[in-house]
Amino acid sequence: MKRRITLLQPLGAPFEPHQAVLSSSNFAIRDLHAARHDRITLGLDDLPEELSNVVESSHELHLRWATEEPFDAIAPFSSRVSPGLHVHYTPLVSGKSSDALCSVLRTVFGADEGDRDGVGCTSPEKSFTTHPLRSTRFATSASLHYYTRLPSLQSLVGFIRRTVCHQRQGGAKCHYLADTLLTADVVDVDYDSTSHTLSISGFWSSSPTGGWVEDIGKPTADDEVEIGLLGVEPGGEPDLLKAGGLLGKIGEDKKLTPVMFDFPSRHYPLAETATYSISFSQPTGLHPEMSISIPHSALQQPPALKDSTCALHTYLTLPSSVFIDQYQVGTEDPLFLQEHNLVAVRAFSGETDLEAPDWAVDRWGSTWLVELATPSVDNSYPASNWTSTIPMHLRYLNPSESGYRSAAVPWPVVFWACSIEEESQIGKTPFDRTNLGYDKLFGPRTIFYQLHPASQHLVEELDVPVLKLKDGEGLFQARNIELGTSVVIVLGFLWIIWRLARVVWATGLGANEVKRPEVHEKKE
């Protein structure tokens, strides 16, 4: 097992040497206020057999989970995904996906029991969608994508405690590490098919009340623990970040060593004022319209390299109950695009059937990459925010006793995508985070500047009108609608029979009055 702990303090934050002490036998943290990234890498022998069998049959397997609560995504961990669980998967043999994948996902993260807050996939062929790619140049192979709303990682923590921790010594420490995932803002799981290892990482944007307090003992001969206490700031170039601080390995170093280095990054956070908010027109009905509101200070192009091209995008992850009409939003009509402050739909995948009700949709939903329009450059920006709108549609949902059902729509991510110079290469770093869904839709030399969501909850709950099951007053009850439908069908059938009978009757009468053809005598 390999473990890497990175503690990130903002520049100028107070720090005393006794708050992080490394000795030959352990690492002690005391009352340290910092963001934290913890990554544990396991071999396949450390995994339960059912899990190791699934990952070994995968060419790529990447899981991305984000909380529904707002958090500060700081450099170098500034990338974002929509809240919920995202699974990106490519089978080892093309066209032969593992049927056990969905079974393992339901075991690890909890099965969907009708509330759509768990994993409801049956197999990759039926439940996953094919990930869109703008060009095959930018990826070795297309992957499959699955998404579900997952507000809590309680099921994952329970799985780790009863399986992974049960196989290793020091169960109490393993249980503690598993429990910390319940407070994480971001959790990633990645399988490396080259080294045959599985890594689990978590990110906490802030420390618990009172700061981090922990004693990390000396690892066993087969384990390795690396510690980093860093501060990160923009580097000398727009595509670089500069880090400085202290590094060390428990059991190998007797004290932390000062370091300073530059490294490239794919994702950068913008200023705290660069925010966006999401809202829906009320009442939503069956045709809601999502509004993305951005202050004008966030609409200025980021400080990318010279000659780079930047554009503002949003990436939407929509469950099966909500969809976008590709022919409506994907139009090239300049009047429609100008009315909604859109440029174009750049990519989409998933369920796009305009007529299917939700219970007839097998796959989880759809993803959409949309380029947003920005106002013309001038010095007289109005005080109001700039708003782009995206028309949506709701599928027919199952009936309910109240006459309404809830459709949960996760907030999309909004970012600037900038292509950088040919000479610039974004190499792989310990902080690199890929397979987010939208990053594969751009070229390899693209950097992303992330806007910050401004809300206390990053999932919108829409009230969808459905057929009301409960009997009561009013015409539009299930029984009345069923009776009315039957009456209309019977009347329509009788009308057709009547019309056919009239035609047959009229034809029969006409047959008795056939006129003889006139015979003309030939005159000589």
Tens of pLDDT, residue by residue over 410-445, are 999 999 999 876 655 566 777 888 899 999 899 888
Q: Is 470 domain-assigned?
A: no
List, in order, residues 6 or more apart from 203 with CB less than 8 Å away: 35, 36, 37, 77, 184, 185, 186, 187
Q: Is 264 domain-assigned?
A: no
On whether both 402 and 383 belong to a single domain, the answer is yes
pLDDT of 140 higher than 50: no
On whether both 48 and 174 belong to a single domain, the answer is yes
- Residue ranges making up the domain that contains 356: 275-465
Instruction: Answer with the one of 154, 173, 202 that is the final residue of a domain.
Output: 202
Structure tokens at 334: 């300049």
pLDDT of 235 higher than 80: no
On whether both 413 and 353 belong to a single domain, the answer is yes
User: What's the predicted TM-score (pTM) here?
Assistant: 0.86
Amino acid code (one letter) for 376 = S
Structure tokens at 235: 């580097």
On whether both 63 and 184 belong to a single domain, the answer is yes
pLDDT of 97 higher than 80: no
On whether both 483 and 427 belong to a single domain, the answer is no
Gap between the Cα atoms of 386 and 151, Å rounded: 30
On whether both 461 and 489 belong to a single domain, the answer is no
Q: Is 242 domain-assigned?
A: no
Q: Is 251 domain-assigned?
A: no
Give pLDDT, residue 135: 42
Give pLDDT, residue 133: 55
On whether both 494 and 408 belong to a single domain, the answer is no
On whether both 63 and 178 belong to a single domain, the answer is yes
Q: Is 92 domain-assigned?
A: yes
Number of domains in the chain: 3
On whether both 416 and 286 belong to a single domain, the answer is yes
On whether both 448 and 494 belong to a single domain, the answer is no
Q: Is 126 domain-assigned?
A: yes
Q: Is 386 domain-assigned?
A: yes
Query: What integer is the mean pLDDT of 248-277?
Result: 90
On whether both 460 and 480 belong to a single domain, the answer is no
Q: Is 315 domain-assigned?
A: yes
CA of 314: how far to CAs of 20, 276, 294, 373, 399, in Å? 40, 11, 12, 11, 33
Instruction: Answer with the one of 183, 202, 221 that is the final residue of a domain.
Output: 202
Backbone phi, then psi, for 445, in 5-degree steps?
A: -105, 55
pLDDT of 221 higher than 60: yes
- Altogether, the residues listed in the chain come to a count of 524
List, in order, residues 6 or more apart from 345 with CB less than 8 Å away: 326, 329, 330, 368, 369, 370, 371
